Amino acid sequence: MKRYLFLLTVCAMVVLGSCKPVYNPPVLPEVPSLAEKYADYFPIGSMIKADLLEIASDTAIKHCSIVTFNTFLFNRVHPQENIYYWDDCDKMIGFARAHNMKIRAHSLIYDKTNPEWIFKDNNQTVSREVLIERMKQHLQTIVGRYKGQVDYWTVVNEATGEILYDDPDGTPVISCALYKPSKWQQIIGDEYVELAFRFAHEADPQAKLFYNENALEGVAGSDKRFKTYTILKNLLSKGVPIHGIGIQGHWRINMPDVDEILSAIDLFASLGLEVQITELDISFYPLLRWYIPALVPKIENFTEEMSLDQAWRYHTLFNGLRSRKDKLTGVVFWGLSDDTSWLRTQPDTRMDWPLLFDGQYQPKKAFWAVVDFP
């Protein structure tokens, strides 16, 4: 008898566990402005690519009170030692300022966007001293040029160590190191992060300087969360001018739990830092897509069921985020329209529908879910 009762309980748990809430957000005759709807909570907006500015500008003007420009990536803005390209940066900053949006400039030091010249000196690996000098010159030229115009800089992106990484010859390494063994870290040492913040601060003491990182939430990310916390705590205790943490927010349809996200926000806020969600999107694929894409079947069509699932996910997420309005100073989507999302090309080419607007910049159910509150 006991055995049957046990089986019955397990079956009930499986059935109940797989029941999804039915949530279909109300669609109003007028599309409200996201920025206005969130005015009492936090600035909200999107990353906008320079080559999409024209097509995206009406949507951005209506909905964004904060924008991120990644025209500041090292290899784009400073591809050769004495050559800087300012056109896109100037254009984007001019646009945001004309429309009274807060500006996040992304990312000054990011190991995936190094220009080739930076680590070479007369065909040898550059010395620590020369690299520090080059970093200083790079940061101070850019931050100095836009002094007083940029609200938030991502000074360093993705420097935290990962449990598993491939060393330069491709051998997998398991590591407990706090910092990722990037080129910057290998030549300058862990101190490169501290130096970057100090140099940027010298160039614009009023600008808010952010550290930006991925996988800071969720069970799989907890190691990174606590390593990042430790890095920031150590730097803050040395008086390094870090003002905020960017939690990237590349999340999935069923993970991480909203509670995990909120506890990451609370943890970083406990250091006295501003917290921003800086690259929000919600993919329909599991994390495995990043490791073995071939094992994850491609989804060809965006069905009604997927649209409702995503609406529920965004709705519960934003209910949670609004509850942290005293800690969050910005929430930024990683793009406006699904068809321009990086997730359609990285890590492989396939359809995904992670954002609030479709390819025609029309609001999806996910949009209506985010504005569905009194």
Residues identified as active-site? 158, 279
The alpha carbon of residue 27 and the mean position of all alpha carbons in its chain are separated, in whole angstroms, by 28
**Distance between CA atoms of residues 59 and 357, nearest Å:** 9
| Contact between residue 268 and residue 238 where contact means Cβ atoms under 8 Å apart | no
**Distance between CA atoms of residues 365 and 27, nearest Å:** 8
Q: CB-wise, 268 or 368, nearer to ligand GLA?
A: 268
Q: CB-wise, 49 or 365, nearer to ligand GLA?
A: 49
Least distance from ligand GLA to the Cβ atom of residue 344, Å: 11
Q: CB-wise, 208 or 365, nearer to ligand GLA?
A: 208
| Contact between residue 360 and residue 374 where contact means Cβ atoms under 8 Å apart | no
Could you list the residues that contact ligand GLA (CB under 6 A)? 70, 106-107, 157, 214, 248, 279, 342
**Distance between CA atoms of residues 195 and 202, nearest Å:** 11
- Beta strands at 124-125 and 120-121: parallel, antiparallel or unpaired: antiparallel
**What residues contact 203, with CB distance under 8 A and at least 6 apart?**
139, 140, 142, 143, 144, 147
Least distance from ligand GLA to the Cβ atom of residue 107, Å: 6
Least distance from ligand GLA to the Cβ atom of residue 218, Å: 16
Q: CB-wise, 111 or 202, nearer to ligand GLA?
A: 111
In this chain, which residue has its C-beta nearest to ligand GLA? 342
**Distance between CA atoms of residues 165 and 179, nearest Å:** 12
Least distance from ligand GLA to the Cβ atom of residue 190, Å: 20
**Distance between CA atoms of residues 3 and 300, nearest Å:** 43
* Of 134, 144, 140, 151, the residue nearest 199 (C-alpha): 140
Least distance from ligand GLA to the Cβ atom of residue 286, Å: 18
Q: CB-wise, 279 or 372, nearer to ligand GLA?
A: 279
Least distance from ligand GLA to the Cβ atom of residue 111, Å: 11
Q: CB-wise, 227 or 365, nearer to ligand GLA?
A: 227
**Distance between CA atoms of residues 215 and 201, nearest Å:** 27
**Distance between CA atoms of residues 46 and 68, nearest Å:** 6
